[in-house]
Amino acid sequence: MQKLKSILFDKRFILTLWFGLSLFAVMKDIIAHPENKLTTHNNYIIYKHNFLNLIHQQKLFGPEPQYYFDLNHYGPVFGLVIAPFAVLPNQIGVVLWTMFLAFILYYAIVKLPLNNSQKLVILLLNVNSLMGSSGNVQVNPLIVALVIFSFIFIRKQQDFWAALMIILGTAIKLYGVVGLAFFFFSDNKLKFIVSLIFWSAVLFVLPMLVSSPAYIIQTYRDWYPDLLAKNAANLTSTRGNVSVMGMIAKIFSIRNLSNTLILIPAVLVFGASMLRIKYWHNIKYQLLLLASVLIFTIIFSTSSEPPTYIIAFIGVGIWYVNLGRPITGYERFLIIFALVGTSFSASDLMPAYLRKNYFIPYALMALPCLVIWLKLIYEMLTRDFDKKEETLQIRTVTT
């Protein structure tokens, strides 16, 4: 058992899994479909045409069946982010993009104010989630990394750069706006607000340098109804709306469930957890809020899909490594429940019968994360953060 543990928590082994499985996930479809038009990497083709449509001033939103199925839902700033990869041949660009996302999320995790053992556990817990995201060539690892960076910069009193992370994340995918939850940790709130305004203006104007002001203004006008249409489609999708609202509606066959009935209590509970003002500068309290934000963002969003759960599961990992040691049997059950019911449930690690007949149709991926989020909120409301607690320490092999 000790030998197995030493292998599992060997830094080289974890990094091999982290980057190696992501590379395998994206490469296996390239090998199976060597043609240039990578229909199996449809998301990457959507990303690439965000850039191409931006520089040619063509509509960003709407069907382009001659290039890809589904629709683009990313703003014009994303065209600039994907540009270095979009100019490359598809098979090279998609691999480099996927590995870039794996690296940026890895870099964000290692910059968290945690010890090395805690960072390795978060990476290990999320290997499968990252592999699933990489196989779908999702942008979600970048979004969660930007949220983490906003948290890190605010803690370092670098509000100017924290504001950039929040505005950039929001301009790519609206999930990024949740970084505003860390506003209360800022020591210079006026500077933070001014920085948000500054970066909003910069990122609004920046795409105009490769297109035109009129085009960008019209694109933002088109974006809002596009997002509304996407949300409406998610509500009736089998794979979409993998949220608490979706889970309740699908399990109990409730048509037209009012999301506000769930969201208002959830927001009130979330807000209550932030009222312990004396702990706003306590690192453990801050980390639990980061975990809460990442989980809340996904489980209460009707736009959530299985690949977006890497955002929530990073939060689960941050919560787990910040538990007081030794952990209880209930806490150990919760992390196993989350691994099986959330991380594994949309992958081949879950038996196909259970995946296709229960977890996906009833949005059961949300359940373990909901239970953990409620436990996390309870900790934020009741835990004595001034008390010195034992933290996770694992002997690791490093290079």
Gap between the Cα atoms of 14 and 12, Å rounded: 6
Q: Using CA atoms, how far apart are residues 287 and 185, in angstroms rounded to an integer?
A: 11
How far apart, in Å, are the Cα atoms of 368 and each of 334, 345, 394?
A: 7, 11, 26
Structure tokens at 375: 């436990």
Q: Provide CB contacts within 8 A for 353, sequence distance 6+.
A: none
What is the DSSP annotation of 22-38? HHHHHHHHHHH--SSS-
Q: Tell me the per-residue pLDDT of 268-281, one tens digit each, with 9 for 90 and over.
A: 999 999 999 999 99
Two tokens at 54? 């931006």
pTM comes to 0.94
Domain boundaries, the chain: 2-382
In angstroms, the CA 182 to CA 194 distance is 15
Where helices occur in the chain by DSSP H, the ranges are 2-8, 11-32, 42-55, 76-86, 90-110, 116-125, 127-135, 140-155, 159-172, 189-205, 213-235, 244-251, 260-272, 283-299, 309-321, 329-338, 352-354, 366-382
Q: At what angle do helices 42-55 and 90-110 cross, to 10 degrees?
A: 100
Alpha-carbon Rg for the chain, nearest whole angstrom, is 21
Task: Please count the other Cβ atoms lying within 10 Å of the Cβ belonging to residue 317.
Answer: 25
Q: What is the pLDDT along the chain (399 residues), one digit of tens a residue?
A: 666 667 777 899 999 999 999 999 999 877 876 664 544 588 999 999 999 999 999 999 988 888 888 889 999 999 999 999 999 999 899 999 999 999 999 999 999 999 999 999 999 999 999 999 999 899 999 999 999 999 999 999 999 999 999 999 999 998 999 999 999 999 999 999 999 999 999 999 999 999 999 999 999 999 999 988 888 777 777 778 899 999 999 999 998 888 999 999 999 999 999 999 999 999 999 999 999 999 999 999 998 999 899 999 999 999 999 998 889 999 999 999 999 999 999 888 899 999 999 999 999 999 999 999 999 999 999 999 988 776 777 655 443
Largest Cα span, the chain: 64
Condensed to tens digits (0 to 9), the pLDDT of residues 340-395 reads 999 999 888 899 999 999 999 999 999 999 999 999 999 999 999 988 776 777 65
Under 8 Å between Cβ of 231 and 245: no
Report the C-alpha gap between 119 and 303 in whole angstroms.
29
Map tokens 């920085």 to a residue: 195
Q: What are phi and psi of 390, to 5 degrees?
A: -70, 135
